[in-house]
Structure 1
Amino acid sequence: MSGRKLARLLAATLLVAATLPAARPAQAAEFEHPGVLVSRSQLDFVKANLGKEPWKSAWEALKSSPEASLTYTATPRAVVDCGMYGDPDHGCSEEREDANAAYTHALRWYLTKDARYAQKAIQIMDAWSAVISKHTGTNAPLQAGFAGANFSRAAELIKHTYTGWTQAGRFANKLRTVYLPTVIAGAPNHQGNWELIMTDAAIGIAVHLDDRASFNQAVTTWRGRLPAYIYLESDGALPKAPPNSKHNTKAELIEYWHQQTTFVNGLTQETCRDFGHTGWGLAAMSHVAETARHQGVDLYDTAKNRLRHAMEFHANLQLGADAPSWLCGGAPERGLGANLEVGYNALHQRLGYNLPRTETWVKQKRPVGIARFLAWETLTHANNPR
């Protein structure tokens, strides 16, 4: 073909292309707001039942807490430095408490529509967004998870149910630049509760920022950690290793599971560490599934068998059952805490599983207050069908 004919052919092709409608990229489904841990319909259900139990006692506990006071004052820091087991603690406790207080005031705003509580939540979040620049120290990733989880819940509720937050963009930018890069990275070589708490914060921040890529990454991390945290006998002789983890051989996995060599349905990677950290892992796992559910992604269907076995296994021992000699040397360290409300509601109330030991333990611990990344879950999730 001559050069002149080729030029005419290319010109004709370009002309035809120019007359065709431009192809549109596929659009991801929009996020549902508010939709971080709690949804509008869940809170409307709570609001309609505040005069009944168990919500009545939970509501009274919230209202009487220092974190719900209109005199609450935030104590922000530019650099939050957190060491192992709280040593050093340079702003770590204060950041966690302020995140809890922001979420507490956001809940009180929604359930009363008293604007003073929305303004107090904003005041707390604005104080932090004005100065926070980074987290440092050994526990920096976990700290970012603790605070990021409740800050994202508070920001989500206020932004989408209250008008007049002028610095919402500044706070969102701090979630995007100070918290998200840390928590989205995961922690495959740490204890499982670390990565699950970080993922709890990551998915909440992603929803608040309408960040589909980070949301999908958080879901992927959760899917990888689930079978590496809760064992089922169908997994085989050994537990699964976390994706990208250095714990791969039989000896390494046994050490990672705190020298446990017998594996049964519901055992977790941290059972033989202690039940307190195990409870955090189960709570964070449930939080991620709850947020994903509000966004149309059903992670409970994936988690239901592992989660129900884990809750019943640990609740049974927590309630006084004798530990078998093969479990943690016959002396597991109990102290499960009030960590099962969200998971119990999802599996029992919505999916219909009979979980008698979990039910007994959950009801003993009601009403759930606040602790690190957990806040008012009897109020928000007990017997909640939404």
Structure 2
Amino acid sequence: MSSSALTDLFPHPIVQAPMAGGVSVPQLAAAVAEAGGLGFLAAGYKTADGLYQEIKQLRSLTGRPFGVNLFMPQPENAETGAVEVYAHQLAGEAAWYETELGDPESGRDDGYDAKLAVLLDNPVPVVSFHFGVPRPEVLESLRRAGTFTLATATTADEALAVQWAGADAVIVQGVEAGGHQGAHRDNPENDHSGIGLLALIAQVRASVNLPIVAAGGLMRGSQIAAVLAAGASAAQLGTAFLATRESGAHAVHKQALTNPLFVRTELTRAFSGRPARGLVNRFLREHGPYAPAAYPEVHHLTAPLRKAAAKAGDAQGMALWAGQGHRLARDLPAGQLVEVLMSELTEAWTALSEVSEFSEFSEFGDGGAA
């Protein structure tokens, strides 16, 4: 699949990352699509019917291409005892927020088969996958339906798996990215060994022939220019769009991105049991070191706590997902953000071409000494 097959779908090389949990609402995806980027819906944590209704709503808002992201079902590898110990540790949080802990056994597959059926019965232009790669026959069935497919990779080996399965492109996710890392296998030994985006793009380019969508901490047009120069066909931005007017993120979450109280991000298992990057708050500091590798059990367990904290407007108890560039967030309408990013990208490309032209024709262009 050529890179042009991907970029022909949308005029600008900007993809709005699918952010589960109510952030990537149809209004956000539509605004990005109308501005020339690729808007995305996040199917994660929704019912199949809920996904269908959101697709229907998005189609009423725009006739331009958009994408839907699915979470892959997770293998049963959590230790029940570890989850029970963590639940005991969270008892004080439940008492504080006056709520019960969730049932850790509320389901492992996120309704994957039912959502896939929706996407095959009502094909959308683009479908991406997180936490793994579907079977080749699934990707082929989507291709026959006219859908362009992508899957996330956090290493070159995972990118090879994406290519082998038959996806049309790979989303290369650097460790800088906010929210959940899309590693295909959750190995606690790898919690502190993530690869930076630019280094990862180079490794993946040397390993596969697929078009690359680069993701991880991107907030400015100059950064988009950098990943395109490194070999990506497009850039995927999450945190940058989380702060926009159309985003479904809680107001407290949006404000926290640039609040001086939150100075850094960290990968944590505290809220879901899988590594995810968020702003360091009280909950993350107190529980992150003890959270087990147990997704989605921990996600289900903490769901009522996160909901109660959000209802109370308590940023210290919420999962404030954010990439490393969060302080650069801008409170703009999503369409205007796309325009600003493209202006910055054009400016960066112009500066880059001027530097290249100078190097080519200057006396230093051949590497000689003055």
TM-score w.r.t. structure 2 length? 0.26
Q: Normalized per residue, which structure has more helix?
A: 1
**Which structure has the bigger radius of gyration?**
1
Higher strand content, 1 or 2: 2
Normalized against structure 1, the TM-score is what?
0.26
